[in-house]
């Protein structure tokens, strides 16, 4: 059954996720992008105060380079526990084409406490000229099963509508509990192009019951996330996806992007979810 969740628009709290760091660009793209655990945790604290109820995390090493080192993820987890009140922690399992299948999932299973949510990329994604993150069906079945055993909710990352059948497969195999948590992604190299019509088409074909958020990269972040809120969806903002506040003006912080999303939600008469609201809506 296709998504039909618009009837509760005015009462449905907007879950604002923030992706603070990512695993690609660093301070060369924006010097305000946090990379080190304490820096990241203080940034998340400000984002939580601004209205974010979930944080999507990648770890960086001392040199600011992407890492899957479990001790680094644990350090991030510990600093978040120290600085933040109640924000939902979401670990990436990305890194296809660089890290092994086991390296990608290990941090979300071996840190304490485990994250409440972790991503599952539902299909292949190209990066640059030579790298492809393959993300096979077999891998996604394994990730979903191991996350279920660990009490971690999968966040289904869909880069184009061709990934929807992969989500439906995991549902048919009994590997996902509803409501499903899906991220529709726009503007990636070989992903869905960013446009209003494509957002509507994408969302209308999601399996129900689903809660979905919109992620769009670079200049597409603001218009696409605003449209998503107007459609009754949720949003992801942050410097992993977009280092600018407006054209030619770098974002001062991730919290600045969260504050704008919360302000737009208020103008659209959508309440902003607290972490407790988000847990209730996502069945965490």
7: burial class by Cβ within 10 Å (0-12, 13-18, 19+)?
Answer: exposed
What are the structural domain ranges in the chain?
16-282
16-282, what's its fold? TIM Barrel (3.20.20)
Distance CA 40, CA 26 (A): 13
**Number of other CB atoms surrounding residue 222 within 10 Å:** 19
Alpha-carbon distance 194 to 190, whole Å?
12
The tens-digit pLDDT sequence of the chain (284 residues) is: 345 556 787 889 999 999 999 999 999 999 999 999 999 999 999 999 999 999 999 999 999 999 999 999 999 999 999 999 999 999 999 998 899 999 999 999 999 999 999 999 999 999 989 998 999 999 999 999 999 999 999 999 999 999 999 999 999 999 999 999 999 999 999 899 999 999 999 999 999 999 999 999 999 999 999 999 999 999 999 999 999 999 999 999 999 999 999 999 999 999 999 999 999 999 99
Q: In the Cβ-directed half-sphere of 214, how many Cα atoms lie within 13 Å?
A: 30
CB-side exposure of 137: number of CA atoms within 13 Å? 12
Can you tell me the distance from the alpha carbon of 191 to that of 233, in angstroms, rounded to the nearest whole number?
Answer: 20
| Degrees to nearest 5, angle at CA 195 with 282 and 188 | 75
H or E element that contains 42 = helix 37-50
The C-alpha atoms of residue 69 and residue 59 are separated, in whole angstroms, by 8
């Amino acid at each position: 059954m296709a998504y039909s969740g618009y009837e509760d628009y005015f009462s449905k709290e907007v879950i604002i996720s923030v992706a603070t760091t990512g695993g690609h660009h660093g301070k060369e793209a924006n010097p305000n992008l946090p990379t080190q655990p304490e820096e990241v945790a203080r940034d998340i604290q400000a984002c939580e105060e601004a209205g974010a109820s979930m944080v999507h995390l990648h770890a960086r090493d001392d040199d600011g380079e992407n890492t899957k080192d479990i001790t680094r993820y644990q350090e991030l987890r510990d600093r978040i526990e120290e600085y933040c009140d109640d924000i939902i922690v979401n670990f990436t399992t990305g890194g296809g084409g660089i890290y092994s299948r086991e390296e990608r999932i290990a941090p979300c299973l071996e840190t304490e406490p485990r994250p409440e949510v972790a991503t599952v990329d539902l299909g292949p994604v190209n990066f640059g000229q030579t790298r492809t993150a393959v993300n096979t069906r077999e891998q996604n079945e394994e990730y979903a099963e191991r996350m279920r055993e660990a009490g971690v909710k999968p966040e289904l990352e869909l880069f184009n509508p061709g990934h929807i059948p992969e989500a439906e497969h995991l549902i048919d195999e009994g590997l996902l509990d509803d409501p499903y948590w899906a991220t529709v992604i726009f503007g990636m190299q070989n992903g869905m192009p960013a446009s209003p019509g494509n957002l509507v088409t994408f969302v209308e074909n999601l399996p129900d019951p689903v809660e979905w958020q919109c992620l769009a990269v670079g200049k597409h972040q603001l218009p696409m996330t605003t449209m998503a809120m107007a459609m009754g969806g949720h949003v992801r903002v942050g410097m992993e996806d977009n280092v600018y506040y407006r054209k030619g003006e770098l974002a001062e912080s991730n919290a600045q992007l969260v504050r704008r999303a919360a302000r737009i939600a208020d103008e659209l008469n959508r309440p902003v979810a607290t972490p407790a609201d988000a847990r209730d809506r996502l069945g965490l």
